[in-house]
Amino acid sequence: SAISNSNSLHVLLTQRPQNMKSHGGEVCFPGGKQDPEDEGDDVRTAMREAHEEVGLHPQHAESISRMESLESKHGLCVTPIIGLISPSSVAEPSQLTLNADEVEAAFAVPLEYFVDPENCDSAVPVNWGGKNFLLRTYLYDDPESGRQFKIWGFTAHVVHEVAMKAFAVHH
């Protein structure tokens, strides 16, 4: 989910609770597994999960892009849905209602942060599913919470791709 904040685009990320058996403590996008009620609709899944995890009401989200589905390291098929939130104030981390079972923290990062190679802590070449990727890691110092968040793997890949497209940067 991308949010517009003081005339610049931000991306809303969450950190999973440390004690979760799957991806404990990791940074990710709001989202999750498709339920039968979603009727096979990836956008409906994304909207429902964002509402369940951070209290973001679907009426404030507009789906603007569906990215290519990718297989995660755990063999899950993941289809990133990019959305704009309006008004952006409803997606400010301090305004969200976090589901403590699924989300330990929520924070917003300027999308432009992921364009600057200086912000990338490391980039390791990997081959996944026959395709070559750079496994990027970002260590983001959140000014709101004073915490540092490690953004890496699938989440870093997706947000980097979105940033490069949003700012028309060729790499």
111 is written with which tokens? 């999308």
Q: Tens-of-pLDDT digits for all 171 residues of the chain?
A: 555 445 689 999 999 998 877 667 899 999 989 999 999 999 999 999 999 999 999 999 999 999 998 887 778 889 999 999 999 889 999 999 999 999 999 999 999 999 999 999 999 999 887 889 899 999 999 999 999 999 999 899 999 999 999 998 765
pTM of this structure: 0.90
Neighbours of 21 (CB within 10 A): 5
Decide: residue 111, CB within 10 A, 0-12 exposed, 13-18 middle, 19+ buried. Answer: buried
